[in-house]
Structure 1
Amino acid sequence: MIQTRSPQSKAALLILAVFTVISIFWSVFVPVFESPDESTDYEFGRYFARTWKLPVLTDNPRPKGVHVWEPLYFYILGSVSKTINAPLSSGSRYEYSNPWKRIYEQNPINLYQHDPSEFKFNWDRLAWSLHIMRLVSVLLSIGSVWFVYKMGREVFPESSWLPISGMMLFAFNPQFLFLGSVLNVVDMVIFSTTILLWLLARFMRREVNRAIDIIILGMSMGMAILSKMTALPILAVVVVGISWKRIVEKKPVISAILLFLIVFLLTGGWYLVRNQVLYGELTGAKIHVLARFNGVWKNPFLEEVGLLNYLISYPKTQWKTFWSGFGWITIYLPMIFPFTMLMIYAHGIWGFVVAIRDRTNLILSGVQKKQLAILATVPIIVWLAITRVIFMVEVFHGKDLFPVSGVAALIVALGWRTLWKVFGSNDWDRHWIKNTAMLCIFSVSVFWFKQPELARFFKGIANMADVWQMVITGTLAAITLRAFWKLFFGQRSREIIRKLVVRNEVRIVSFTLGIIAVSELTILFLLVVPDLYQMSIWELLKK
């Protein structure tokens, strides 16, 4: 009997195909080395192609091309680099004669120089080598998107559209598309961590797990550590998940944990031991800072602005760069976009908490609650670990959260479905809930859009114009939120939406994908490319 694919499976394949096409466009048209640390990644890959040796960062002088990142991604890049005989990047025609002087004096958008002919594929050997090596990141990103879907499918049944929603929310983040199309070590850890979390979700779902399942988890955790140290906090969550499941299965816990840790140690944990032996610490964080700042242990931005301003800047900058910060973190989408996404995620998390607290098991089954309780811990613990690290080195960039953004996207999708179900219920209609939400949106919008005025207000130097700007901004945000609730969550609206969705799920996905594709390519060709070439797309086409 021929088994046909479900509408959800077809939609997932369509999403993957659209993502692949858009990702290739980004990879081809982002100019040479115009992404954070891409030139360094390129040379580190060439280092592995020449030596195949793990570098010792305390060597003096340090070998040419060596950087501080974990090795797995660069072994892959090294293989590609060796195959195509990638040339040296320093001294190329893309470099300015005095780049650092230009950066300090002009604060440019583009850090490298580009001829319009590059836009029309008149590439030299260096450009061809870089674009071929970028395909590694493209393939890793495609794999990450697919395993986010697989993870969602482990939690929710075949008939659910939640994995599709989470997959789309994860895949079409403009910043993820950008970084997933260029050389960046974060692409490796996103891929390996997503596989790990998919395996963990599967482990928590199965009624009975075998030793091979624990071994595979250990290998996956090892691969994640060799990808980037950002994955290290997840180790504790995996240990808790294995212990919890073994207790439920009424099987030995200690032996399972030992098996997992031994496999982890053999496949990737040895890198932690190596760091401890060579540098005196498991993570290598201190040697990272020393190597980056030429032997000086400091965080220059923290010293410059002070602790309070540093902490205030951190969450806003991290969230803003989670959604944009193209080029060398020089090109941003309008502030309204990350603010809107913040509201979407806040509602999703709110709904997720409601779903977990539901004791009737009508929203989630007991197994799903166990899976999601473990998975939801991962973004929290990773964010806390990154927050700890910001005192050692500037890691404000939101890309460090990408390894766990697939879980976050799935949680937000579930949260929205839950809110849509419970909105209008007696619990929701309690005035304190609505009033608290309105107060939160008022405060966040003032902080987001009127931060300088807010700072002057707390310092006691604000004038009435500052105060009125804050009041108007917060009030408009609160009114907009209330109108949105009424429009989207009203009883009549929900009935219309339910009928529309039930009849046209695949069409809605296709239509949404079309809008997303146009939007992502618009960002690329009308914002990113013109800024990096310093000329409009029409001028590039004419020359």
Structure 2
Amino acid sequence: MSRKPSISLLPIFALIVFTAIFLALTVRVSFFASEGPDEVAHFYFDRFIAKYGRLPLTNEERSEAGYKADLPPLFYLLAGLTAQQLDLESGPRIRTTRNNPRLQLVAGLDNVKAWRMIKTEDPLQGEILLWYWGRWLTILTGLACLVATFVLLRRLFPDQLWLAVAGVALLGFLPGYIYISGITSYEPLAGFLMTLFLLLLLHTIRHPARSWSYLGLGLLLGLAALTRHTPWPVLPLVPLLIIWLAVRQGWSWSAMLGRIALFAVGVLVTFGSWVLYITLYFNRIDELGWFQGILSPLFIGDGSGTTSQQIASVITGGELGINDFAPQSDSFWQWLWISFSQVWGADWLGGVMLVVWVVAMMGLIRRWPRENDSTRWWIVLLLIYIPLLMALPFLRFVFSGNASSMMGQHILFTAGAAMVVLLIYGLTAWSPRSTY
């Protein structure tokens, strides 16, 4: 009688230790870090939803909710609705520099940095507890993103548990991943949803005839788009994939269109609900006409997003948004290096990781001839998927001319799992046992 291969306990133990260290580090960050990128604005939007139990319905309410109130709201809904039982009317309160006349009087208006939090040692209740709840929710979504990455790696490398553990540890121990997971941010939630999207995308490539997969892809990608702008350029990828599968599999027109329709339904139910809300409550149709009147609340909002206003200007031929583009001062290669180093490490660590990636890319070329069609197309999809997620950060660079406009967290979470998969594919090609 044949015996089932035993599973080594060592990688499982390593995974448990890694999880404990990750939680310890991120919880420590949550208690001791000052405010992170846009964290005060995140807090204001969380507080508005916790207080009223809904999204803003007027421009005055949007002003109360802060400059993030015109962005996709899924993270804020999760944070605010789950904190509705908190007593936000009694103290202690978060001390911020926003519209603080006492601080402006003492320090001088020009010396006050807007949208900053003054760290205090108040007890965990009221607004203070809401501040930390936003951070703890981010920790949970950061951990969920790593769990989804682990499952994805196990699906791809079922006989190599160590590869899955190593890949998750590499991603989770990146300094940017730990820091952003420990402060209030929508990036880990977007990363979790996009990693689930990749899992279902892999299943779809392996089993293209299962129609429910296309509805699921629409739901997951729609939820990710409802969390962050970054996944928006990925939306056309699935219809193009369906068309390619229809040609490869010999589907009828009705089968192809039906699956595109299922994907569209998933996107409309999720992301479309926010577009409908924006259109109903904040349209400027009477002032600008149908096209620009609907485009304005989506891209202009309260006017705080420079890049989105510049995109609106390009779309409308300069009639909306900001038509003033900075001259190109930094090169594309500078932007690319900053993008890379903010994800994988700066200085000497960035140099080491660059060498690792060069070796991995050469490994992908080496293993390409011996891979089956399914794996080849999966790799091609990943190589398309990652640049799509970098499209909006790249536009920000093009419009600003400043390579430092790139922030690593913009792609670290949404593209993190895909980058780890490519890295493992490439590096294992050099192993004598490269049959993964």
Same fold (TM over 0.5): yes
Alignment match of 1:81 (pick from 65, 80, 83) = 83
Q: What is aligned with 1:65?
A: 65
Aligned-CA RMSD value: 3.8
User: Separation in 1 of the partners of 2:26 and 2:123?
Assistant: 21
Q: What is aligned with 1:202?
A: 203
Aligned 8 A contact 1:222 1:265 in 2 = yes
SS of the residue 2:29 aligns to: helix
SS of the residue 1:227 aligns to: coil
Q: What is aligned with 1:242?
A: 242
User: Separation in 1 of the partners of 2:105 and 2:186?
Assistant: 24
**Counterpart amino acid of 1:220?**
L
Alignment match of 1:268 (pick from 264, 267, 271) = 271
Alignment match of 1:19 (pick from 19, 22, 35) = 22
Aligned 8 A contact 1:379 1:407 in 2 = yes
Are 1:417 and 2:428 counterparts? yes
User: Separation in 2 of the partners of 1:227 and 1:407?
Assistant: 19
Offset of 1:287 from its aligned partner?
Answer: 0.9
Alignment match of 1:253 (pick from 251, 256, 262) = 256
User: Separation in 2 of the partners of 1:89 and 1:312?
Assistant: 50
Offset of 1:154 from its aligned partner?
Answer: 2.4
User: Separation in 1 of the partners of 2:48 and 2:331?
Assistant: 36
SS of the residue 2:150 aligns to: helix
Are 1:183 and 2:196 counterparts? no
Aligned 8 A contact 1:204 1:241 in 2 = no
List alignment gaps of at least 5 residues for structure 1: 325-333, 422-497, 499-543
Q: Flag the 1:209–1:171 CA change in 2: closer, same or farther, 3 A.
A: farther
Alignment match of 2:393 (pick from 370, 386, 397) = 386
Q: Flag the 1:313–1:391 CA change in 2: closer, same or farther, 3 A.
A: same
User: Separation in 2 of the partners of 1:3 and 1:17?
Assistant: 28
Matches within 5 A, 1:372-521: 372-392=379-399, 395-402=405-412, 403-420=414-431
Aligned 8 A contact 1:272 1:283 in 2 = no
User: Separation in 1 of the partners of 2:390 and 2:249?
Assistant: 31
**Counterpart amino acid of 2:353?**
M
**Counterpart amino acid of 1:338?**
G
Q: Flag the 1:91–1:168 CA change in 2: closer, same or farther, 3 A.
A: closer
Offset of 1:284 from its aligned partner?
Answer: 5.8
Q: What is aligned with 2:356?
A: 344
Matches within 5 A, 1:24-423: 24-31=27-34, 34-55=35-56, 59=59, 62-66=62-66, 67=68, 68-86=70-88, 92-93=94-95, 95=97, 97-98=103-104, 112-114=117-119, 118=121, 125-159=126-160, 161-206=162-207, 209-251=209-251, 252-272=255-275, 278=283, 280=292, 286-288=299-301, 290-292=303-305, 297-298=321-322, 303=326, 306-309=327-330, 311=332, 313-323=334-344, 335-355=347-367, 358-359=368-369, 361=370, 364-392=371-399, 395-402=405-412, 403-420=414-431
**Counterpart amino acid of 2:340?**
W
Offset of 1:145 from its aligned partner?
Answer: 0.3
SS of the residue 1:213 aligns to: helix
Q: Once the two structures are superposed, what CA deviation does each residue of 1:183-220 show, in whole Å capped at 9, x if it has no partner?
A: 112222111111111111122123x5423222222211
The one of the two structures with greater contact order (alpha-carbon pairs below 8 A, sep at least 6) is 1
User: Separation in 2 of the partners of 1:255 and 1:404?
Assistant: 29
User: Separation in 2 of the partners of 1:319 and 1:49?
Assistant: 37
User: Separation in 1 of the partners of 2:152 and 2:258?
Assistant: 26
User: Separation in 2 of the partners of 1:177 and 1:266?
Assistant: 32
User: Separation in 2 of the partners of 1:188 and 1:161?
Assistant: 26
Q: Flag the 1:99–1:169 CA change in 2: closer, same or farther, 3 A.
A: farther
Query: Normalised by the size of structure 1, how large is the TM-score?
Result: 0.63
Aligned 8 A contact 1:72 1:227 in 2 = yes
Query: Normalised by the size of structure 2, how large is the TM-score?
Result: 0.76
**Counterpart amino acid of 2:411?**
L
Offset of 1:236 from its aligned partner?
Answer: 2.1
Q: Once the two structures are superposed, what CA deviation does each residue of 1:482-528 show, in whole Å capped at 9, x if it has no partner?
A: xxxxxxxxxxxxxxxx9xxxxxxxxxxxxxxxxxxxxxxxxxxxxxx
Q: What is aligned with 1:488?
A: none
User: Separation in 2 of the partners of 1:201 and 1:154?
Assistant: 9
Offset of 1:391 from its aligned partner?
Answer: 4.2
Q: Once the two structures are superposed, what CA deviation does each residue of 1:256-303 show, in whole Å capped at 9, x if it has no partner?
A: 11221122212223434555673636696631572347x994499x63
Q: Flag the 1:196–1:105 CA change in 2: closer, same or farther, 3 A.
A: same
Worse-matched range after superposition: 378-387 or 281-290 = 281-290
**Counterpart amino acid of 1:374?**
L
User: Separation in 2 of the partners of 1:370 and 1:287?
Assistant: 38
**Counterpart amino acid of 1:339?**
G
**Counterpart amino acid of 1:342?**
L
Q: Once the two structures are superposed, what CA deviation does each residue of 1:33-90 show, in whole Å capped at 9, x if it has no partner?
A: x201111111101112233443468x36844024232111011111133122346999
Aligned 8 A contact 2:56 2:65 in 1 = no
SS of the residue 2:65 aligns to: coil
Offset of 1:375 from its aligned partner?
Answer: 2.4
Aligned 8 A contact 2:242 2:260 in 1 = yes
Q: Once the two structures are superposed, what CA deviation does each residue of 1:148-187 show, in whole Å capped at 9, x if it has no partner?
A: 1112222222336433332222211111111111111222
Larger helix share, 1 or 2: 1
Q: Flag the 1:319–1:159 CA change in 2: closer, same or farther, 3 A.
A: closer
List alignment gaps of at least 5 residues for structure 2: 285-291, 310-319
User: Separation in 2 of the partners of 1:283 and 1:369?
Assistant: 41
User: Separation in 2 of the partners of 1:250 and 1:16?
Assistant: 45
Aligned 8 A contact 1:154 1:202 in 2 = no
User: Separation in 1 of the partners of 2:362 and 2:105?
Assistant: 47
Q: Flag the 1:159–1:409 CA change in 2: closer, same or farther, 3 A.
A: closer
Q: Flag the 1:114–1:274 CA change in 2: closer, same or farther, 3 A.
A: closer
Aligned 8 A contact 1:137 1:183 in 2 = yes
Larger Rg: 1
Offset of 1:105 from its aligned partner?
Answer: 6.0
User: Separation in 2 of the partners of 1:283 and 1:153?
Assistant: 44
User: Separation in 2 of the partners of 1:246 and 1:100?
Assistant: 68
**Percentage of pairs with the same residue:** 17
User: Separation in 1 of the partners of 2:77 and 2:5?
Assistant: 40
